[in-house]
Every structure is written in structure tokens, then in C-alpha cells.
Amino acid sequence: MITRLIVGGAQENTIATVRGLSEKGEDVCLATGPPIGPEGSLMDEARRLKAELILIPEMRREINPILDFVSFLKLYFLMLRERFDIVHTHSSKAGILGRLAGKLAGAKVIVHTIHGLPFHPYQNKFLNFFYIILERFAGLFTDKIITVCEAMKRKAISAGIAGDGKFITIYSGMDLTPFLRVKGDILRKKRELGIKEGEKVIGKIGRFFPLKGHKYLIRAAPEVVKVSPNVKFLLVGDGILKEKLELEIEQLGLRDKFIFTGLVKREDIPLLISVMDILVHTSLREGLARVLPQAIACGKPVVSFDVDGAGEVVIPGKTGFIVPPENVSALSQAILNALSDVGKLEQSGRKFIDPAFRTETMVDKIDALYQKLLKNETADEHGYN
């Protein structure tokens, strides 16, 4: 189960897992709240899965005691009725409610995937404390916690969510083939976007939301343009901060340097990455952003803030550059370095990305984990352990 099926990494991960397990012959049910928000919806894709889809209308990302209680009751009675062997939750809200419902309903095995920790330095201390207490509580009756990168595992252990033995890192899988062998006319796409021949393209993919860090790229732009005037910034995505970002660009006098694509289809992402000379990722809070291995699979160098799992795929001087979060001057310098070294940066990162980030690899590891946990549960029931 997952809180909502908007367009996003955690949601794509969940759908890929459901699809992969269904193809292995498992009987899978996917429970989710409505895809409320401007990010787009993956509900149509979920309906095409060979799995039962259960919509919990009251499930929301924001805390709401009444709706949360109703969501919990619906999840509890669903699990009580279906008697699932395994309950696997994704995202914070569904993770807390789903795991508690699963425990009370007698699920044999409870697994949770952390895509991004609900507590972080950019949030007030009271909320962080509240979320940590909730995660510790849910961790008491969770058999295994999957993290999408080693860095997140270390942070969770440090916060006392659970002991080291309860965690396992499984990278978020995706279909890498479209990124390893990009289809489409790159020159035509550049013309459609208004990118002239010879212009260097600095791209960023992500929702225009707080903590996604678009403002840092915009503030780094003047220095980049000053040194390398023949550049364009390609922003792929949409969100509530779009007008604010456009205003800041206008005030810097750089409107002709920025291109906004709006929401795009996921199948268009490989071609858009191929249009870029480098990809910049300035999110302040991320597990391991899927766009990083995707860009590296496309053979594009990456400049990323050093948050969570970024350093596990962005290798300085080989696949890109890592800079301190919120450091605009370091960001602009790293972008300039990447632009000058585009032809020199090694593409050895592809060997790590493939097969580590393939959907098949992720699903196989999750399935193997399920089988191991079920085997241990059966052994416990018979007094073997």
C-alpha cells in the first residue's frame, strides 16, 4: 500500500514491484489513497496491473485525525477480510497506518520501504520528534525495513528507528532500456524546445515544490551565464512554485535562458535527458533520486547536492560532481566544471547502474526477502527457532 499514486519515484517503485510480483505468479492487492495534487496521476497505470486495486478515499498525505482513523479502519478490515501473508507499505502515512493495521489483523510478515525519511533538517524540531516517535513505534512490529540507499539506512539507524539487523538496502528499480538506448530524434526535440545549434543545455527534472531546490539552480545561473553565455536551462516538471520561480528568473533578467516543459509523459524523459549536456539535481531531501541513475544510464554527467544516496551513484570526476547543499557558488562552479569536462567524464557508471537499478533486480531481491521472512515465520510457528 502507498499513500497516493501521484507521478513520483516512490509510486513508480511501488507499481513496478506490484507488476513484477504479479508476473511471478503472486496474488497481489494494491491499496492507495486518491492521487490528489498537481503532480499527475498513476492510477490509470495501476488499473492495468494484474492485481486488485483498492482505493481508500480518506487516505491523505497531510495529517487529519478523522480521515486517518477512517483510513486505518478500512485498512484493518481489508486485511482482516483478505488475510494477507505479507503487508508491504510505502511512504510515511500508509507506512504507519498500514503496518499497525497489518499487525492487529494478524499479517504473517510486515515490510516497509523508506523512500524518503519524514524527518529532516528543513523541518521544525517538534514535527521531526513526532515523526521519529511514530517511526520507532511502527518499527517495533515491522519484520524488515527496505531503504533505497545505504545513506538512508544509516540515518534511520542513527535516529533509533530500529537496529541494523532490521534494515536491508534494495535500490529502486526501473526500466533502464529506454535510457541505455534512447529512441527519438534529439536534434528535432532541441528545435521543438527552441534550443539552437551549439547551445549547451543544463537540465533539471522535478516537481516545482519546496525542498526540490529549483531556486538554487536559478541563483547559480547568473554566474554560469557570465562565464558560459551559450547555455540554456531546461526545467522539466510543474508544481505550485512555478509562478514564483518564473518571477525570480525575470528579476534576474534571464527569461530567455530558461525553458519550462510543464508536465511530460514518463516515456519522454529519456529523450529529454539526451537533449541535456548535464543534469543538475538540487533537491534538499531525497532518498536516492531515480533521475540520477537514469541520467548516468543516458551517459550524461550529473551535478548534485550531497544529500542522502546521491553520493552512491554520483562519483566525483567520473559520473559527475557532488556539492554541499544550498551552496550556490559551489553549485555554479561544479556546473561550469561539468560543462568543460563533458567529453572527459567517464561513463563507467553505466556498469554499476545496470543491473543494480533494473526493475528485475529489485523485484527478485524483494521476492527473495519475502520468501525468507515467510520461511522464518513458518519455522517460528512450528518451534524450529
* Domain residue spans of the chain: 2-173+358-381, 177-355
Residue 250 has pLDDT above 70, yes or no: yes
What's the grid cell of residue 264? Answer: 511530460
Q: Residue 298 contacts by C-beta under 8 Å, 6 or more apart in sequence? A: 179, 180, 182, 270, 273, 274
Closest residue by Cα to residue 203 from 221, 226, 191, 188: 221
pLDDT of residue 144: 98
What pLDDT band is residue 341 in, cutting at 50, 70 and 90?
A: confident
Q: So what's the architecture of 177-355 in CATH? A: 3-Layer(aba) Sandwich (3.40)
Q: State percent of the chain over pLDDT 90.
A: 84
Q: Is 306 helix (H, G, I), strand (E, B) or coil?
A: coil
What is the rounded distance in angstroms from the CA atom of residue 240 to the CA atom of residue 371? 42
What is the rounded distance in angstroms from the CA atom of residue 267 to the CA atom of residue 86? 32
| Rounded mean pLDDT, 212-219 | 97
CA angle, residues 363, 302, 290, in degrees to nearest 5 = 25
Helix ranges restricted to H, 256-381: 269-275, 291-297, 328-340, 349-356, 359-381
pLDDT of residue 52: 97
Residue whose cell numbers read 489483523: 105
| One-character DSSP codes across 150-219 | HHHHHHHHHTTSS-GGGEEE-PPPB--HHHHS--S-HHHHHHHHTPPTT-EEEEEES-S-TTS-HHHHHH
What pLDDT band is residue 7 in, cutting at 50, 70 and 90?
A: confident
Residues paired with 168 in a beta bridge: 146
Q: State percent of the chain over pLDDT 70.
A: 97
Topology match between the domains 2-173+358-381 and 177-355: yes
pLDDT of residue 378: 66
Strand locations in 41-176 (E): 52-55, 86-90, 109-114, 144-147, 167-169
Note every long-range contact of 156-164, with CB atoms under 8 Å and residues 24 or more positions apart, other chains counting.
156/114, 156/117, 159/117, 159/119, 159/132, 159/135, 160/132, 160/136, 161/132, 161/135, 161/136, 162/136
Residue 108 has pLDDT above 80, yes or no: yes
Q: Do the Cβ atoms of 7 and 40 come closer than 8 Å? A: yes
Residue 98 has pLDDT above 70, yes or no: yes
Mean pLDDT of the chain: 93
| Rounded mean pLDDT, 286-315 | 93
CA distances from 382 to 144, 229, 368, 371, 377 (A): 21, 71, 21, 17, 9
CATH of domain 2-173+358-381: 3.40.50.2000
The pLDDT tens digits for 112-140 are 999 999 988 888 999 999 999 999 999 99
Q: Do the Cβ atoms of 259 and 235 come closer than 8 Å? A: yes
